[in-house]
Amino acid sequence: METTLRGVGVSHGVAIGEVRHMGTAVLEPPAKQIPPEDAAREQARARKAVEDVAADLIARGNLAGGEAQAVLEAQAMMAQDPELTADVNRRIAVGSTAERAVYDALAAYRALLAGAGEYLAGRVADLDDVRNRIVARLLGVPMPGVPDSDEPYVLIARDLAPADTALLDPTLVLGFVTEEGGPTSHSAILARALGVPAVVALPGAGEIAEGTVIAVDGSTGEIFVEPSAEKKAELEAAAARRKAALSASTGPGATSDGHKVPLLANVGGPADVPAAVEAGAEGVGLFRTEFLFLDDSKTAPSEEKQVEAYRKVLEAFPEGRVVVRVLDAGADKPLDFLTPADEPNPALGVRGLRSLLDHPDVLRTQLTALAKALEGLPVYLEVMAPMVADRTDAKAFADACRAAGLRAKFGAMVEIPSAALRARSILQEVEFLSLGTNDLAQYTFAADRQVGAVSRLQDPWQPALLDLVALSAEAAKAEGKSCGVCGEAASDPLLACVLTGLGVTSLSMGAASIPYVRATLAKYTLAQCERAASAARASDTAEEARTAAQAVLSGE
């Protein structure tokens, strides 16, 4: 009998197939004692297992490239953390086996993360995956992960580790559903990059029996268990219509009456550029430069290495627009040479621009590298700072850009409510704004973007968040400057229309979402988008806002 469940749709498309469940986590190893003379051997076993797991994660990252590479390299650094290594060695020295010492040391670190504030608590799933991989290697059992199958299937898991999501084979994994996670979790972001339909934050998903046929609608978040032939036909027809609309929609982003809305790509490095070009991106709206710095958390990359990487991205968009975000370190992206190690709540501490202003040499090197990478290229470079709180922050960043001789527009990311509330003041120092809706939602609602239990508050349709977007866009218009969105909100085609109606001047998203947004925008006039935006803001909940906007655009 057909039943319908609803989670949070995070990656467009429809998938219909049999359920396969993620492999079970590694069992807790027995707590047996070893004689003192075996300690050195066990320490060597633990060290070798850690090195092998870190190498495997880095290799997976190299294969996946882009956003996934940065995430997996961060996981590899977790595995090789010197404090964890020291703790493992201490536990072995007093009688633990290698596998038990690893298990207990990582359990202790897990407890620290879980209690270190919401932002770091979101890294617990990544840490659990590191633990499982090391312990599995020591026990000589298969790695936990995606099931083996010769036939395509829909994957169900409690959560998906980045190492698994990054290398999903879209020819076999038709789509996936998780019980945990949120719309801006690592799994959701990587799913969109892969173009795999996905639904997250669906409680009870793990209770769907292996082999059950389900239909996953990654746009609406609906899951149809044992769908009828009529429902399958309906979903497949809708998917076919979407595909036809995507194929028919080409060229620059615009509403049906010609109002231009440049559609840009979010990229994590040179590896993401081909997909962006293929999708017809009009440039880059968010170039995350962290990937270079995560290669080695101990030291910053050289100026030469940075110049080479930046130039590869700039060369891909001749006479296009490339918006570079300077290093956004801290919170879930700690760097030994840059971020404090003992903050009680790193998400509310020294991160983003705050870290760079505390280490002006790192900022100066990055800005100088960007200036050199730009030489001789006909590209419109814009450089922005993350975590700008007020005009003082904006001025400090603009002054640093000018001191580095950078020929570019300087901008500020709006990720903190204070920046939206005082956007006009900030625009006295910089030339554009870019809304990072992921963090803006997190700080507006005190809701960690990685925690599925608060996914309701991470929904970019929340009217309070739309109010902050409107404030920023109105301030930019009053100052004759631009205001884009580079958060994941821009990847929702319906919400893209609302953002346009709010006055946002460009939209940046994962490359896979660009065709969907382009096709949807082309169906409506600017006036319709403005009416949809007004209806959404007049609502009280995210669900009501979406419904109201949809009603306006469908003419109901």
Any idea which residues carry the catalytic annotation? Answer: 186, 486
Cβ atoms of 209 and 232 closer than 8 Å: no
Query: 151 to each of 155, 157, 174, how far by Cα in Å?
Result: 12, 18, 10
Residue where the block lists tokens 């925690």: 451
Q: Is 25 helix (H, G, I), strand (E, B) or coil?
A: coil
Residue where the block lists tokens 């956007």: 423
Convert 171-204 to b/e letters by CB count within 10 Å (16 or more is b): ebbbbbbbbbbbbbbbbbbbbbbbbbbbbbbbee
Cβ atoms of 42 and 92 closer than 8 Å: yes
Q: Is 157 helix (H, G, I), strand (E, B) or coil?
A: strand
| Token pair in block for residue 49 | 């297992």
Residue 172: DSSP 8-state: T
Of the candidates 217, 179, 168, the one whose C-alpha atom is nearest the C-alpha of residue 197 is 217
Of the candidates 215, 162, 216, 214, the one whose C-alpha atom is nearest the C-alpha of residue 191 is 162
The secondary structure element, H or E, covering residue 89 is: helix 82-93
- Tally Cβ neighbours within 10 Å of residue 319: 9
Q: How many CA atoms lie less than 13 Å away from 486 in the CB half-sphere? A: 30
Q: Please list, in sequence order, all residues whose beta carbon lies within 8 angstroms of the beta carbon of residue 226, skipping any fewer than 6 positions away.
A: 1, 2, 3, 212, 213, 214
The secondary structure element, H or E, covering residue 215 is: strand 213-217
Cα angle value 343/345/349 (rounded, 5°): 70
Q: Please list, in sequence order, all residues whose beta carbon lies within 8 angstroms of the beta carbon of residue 265, skipping any fewer than 6 positions away.
A: 272, 275, 276, 279, 281, 283, 284, 285, 508, 509, 510, 511, 514
What amino acid occupies position 428? Q
| Token pair in block for residue 397 | 């960043």
What is the distance between the alpha carbons of residues 508 and 315, in angstroms, rounded to a whole number? 19
What is the distance between the alpha carbons of residues 263 and 282, in angstroms, rounded to a whole number? 6
Burial of 316 (0-12, 13-18, 19+ CB in 10 A): buried
| Token pair in block for residue 301 | 């990359």
